[in-house]
Amino acid sequence: MSQSHFIDGQWVAGQSDHLVVAYDPCLAQPFAQLHSCSPAQVDQAVRAARQALPRWQGLNAARRATYLRGFAEQLKQRRDSLVALQMQNNGKPRHEASADVDDAVATFTYYAGLAEQLDARQNAEVALPAPGFRSHTRLEAIGVVGLIVPWNFPLVTSAWKLAPALAAGCTVVLKPSEVTPLIEQVFAEIAHEIGLPQGVLNIVGGGAETGVALSTHPGIDKLSFTGSNKTGSAVMHSAADYCRPLTLELGGKSAILVFDDCDLDQAVEWIIAGICWNAGQMCSATSRLLVQDSIAEPLLARLKNALEKLRVGNPLDDEVDMGPLSSEAQFSKVTACFELARSEGLHCLTGGYALQMPGWFVSPTVYTDVPLDSALWRQEIFGPVLCTHRFSSEAQAVELANDSQYGLVATVVSADLTRAERVAAALEVGHVWINSIQAVFVETSWGGSKGSGIGRELGPWGLSAYQSVKHVTRCLD
C-alpha cells in the first residue's frame, strides 16, 4: 500500500500526513492503510488530466469505445478478487458483491456501445427557417471532470460516472471514499493493462482534505458527486464559485406504497429487499412503508416473521442474507437512531438493537405507526430501519409519499396496474418500481428531485451529462 494513488499514468505514494484505514466491518478490524493524497498531488492530477484532454477528446469515438470494452473485459477477469474485496471492505454478502461487479461490467459495455454511435451523430444538420443559412451540431467533451464517489456502492457508482465521462471524451480525476479506498484501484490497474493514454484517468484517494482540494480546484470543468446532502451542499457551493456544471446524487427517504389488493407474501419480499439490501445502506432504500389500513395487521405480522428469519452475519458464510454496516460511524448513527426511537416512545415491531457479535452488525428493524413529525420518519438513517404508517385512500397514500424533502425513488405494490401506473405518475421521484425489487438497468436513468440531487446518471442522459453542445451556423451568401 506504499503507492496507492494513480496520477498521470504512474502509481504514487500519498504525501499527506492523514492516514486512510480500510476496515473489515465483520470484525471491526483494520486490514490496510494508506496516506491520503495532498492538495499538491490533487493539483498534479488535474494538470495531468488537462494535458491529456486534447488528445483524448480528439480520438475517434469508436476508438474510445475499444478502451471501454477493455475495462469491461478486465473487470470480468478480476471478478473473483473484486467480489472478495467488496465482501471484506463493505461487508456485502457474496450475492450482493457479485451483482456489483456485474453492474460495473454492464455499465462499461453499454457506454462503449453509445460511444460507437457518437461519430455518426457528430455534425448533424439542423433545419432552419431561413434559406440563406446552414447549421450543424457538435457534441463535445465537457472537459476535465472531478468524480467523487461514496462507500456504499463504490465500484458501481464509479463505473456509472467513469464510463460515460470517458465515452464522451472527458479526462477524469476520481476520488474514492476514505471508507472504501481500495476497490477503485482496479481501474488504474486496468488503465495500465489496456494502454489507456496517461493522464486520462487519475485516482486520488483520501479524506475530506482531498475531496475539498478536488471540488474547489479551478482546473475542473464539471463535478459529479454522490454522497450525503451535507457534503453535496458544500460541493454545490464550490461549483458556484466557478459557475461550473455539476451532477449531485444525494440522499433519500423513499416510500413503498402497499395497496390492499396485493399478494401479501410477495409484498413482504419486496419490502425486505428495499430496506435490507446492502444492510439498508442505500440512498434508494424504501425506508417508509405506507400500507393500506385493511391489510396492515396481516402484512406486518408476515413482515415480522420474515425479518426474524433473516440470516445476518459474516458474508464468508454463503447462507447469509444481510451483512454488517460498513463503518463504525454508520454503526454509531444507526444505534443512535434506536436510542432516539426509544426516547420518542415508538413501537418497535422487531429489532431495534445491535447484535452481540464481532463487527458492526445490527438487527433488521421495524417501527410501526410512526408519527409523521418523528425524526425517524423524516430523516435518512442509512441502515436496515423501516418506519411504517397507514393510509386509507390512494390520494392519501400519494400525499404521504410526496411529503418529504427527498424525491429519489418509490415502489408501488398493487394488483391493479392501472392504479399503480396512476400512482407512479403522481409520485415526485426520479424512478418508480411497480411490483418489483429495485432492479436498476444501465439503460434507464438514475437521479431524483427535491433534496435528492441534480441531474441524471445512466442511460443516454448519463452520457449527455459529460457533453457540451455547440452549434455552427454559417451564411450561404
Q: CA 297 → CA 21, 211, 362, distances in Å? A: 46, 47, 25
Euclidean distance between CA atoms 356 and 109, whole angstroms = 43
Alpha helices in 182-317 (DSSP H): 185-194, 208-215, 229-242, 264-276, 293-308
Euclidean distance between CA atoms 107 and 166, whole angstroms = 12
List 111's β-bridge partners, or say none: none
Q: CA 57 → CA 141, 142, 171, 294, 466, distances in Å? A: 6, 9, 8, 59, 12
Residue 7: its H or E element: strand 5-7
Are the beta carbons of 451 and 405 closer than 8 angstroms? yes
Buried b (16+ CB within 10 A) or exposed e, 380-406: bbbbbbbbbbbbeebeebbebbeebeb
Euclidean distance between CA atoms 273 and 97, whole angstroms = 15
Residue 26 catalytic?
no
The one catalytic residue in 249, 262, 387, 457 is: 249
Instruction: For the sheet with 347-350, list strands across it.
Output: 347-350, 365-368, 385-391, 288-292, 255-258, 409-413, 431-434
Are the beta carbons of 121 and 139 closer than 8 angstroms? yes
The one catalytic residue in 170, 276, 283, 337 is: 283
Euclidean distance between CA atoms 258 and 295, whole angstroms = 9
Residue 283 catalytic?
yes
Active-site residue list: 249, 283
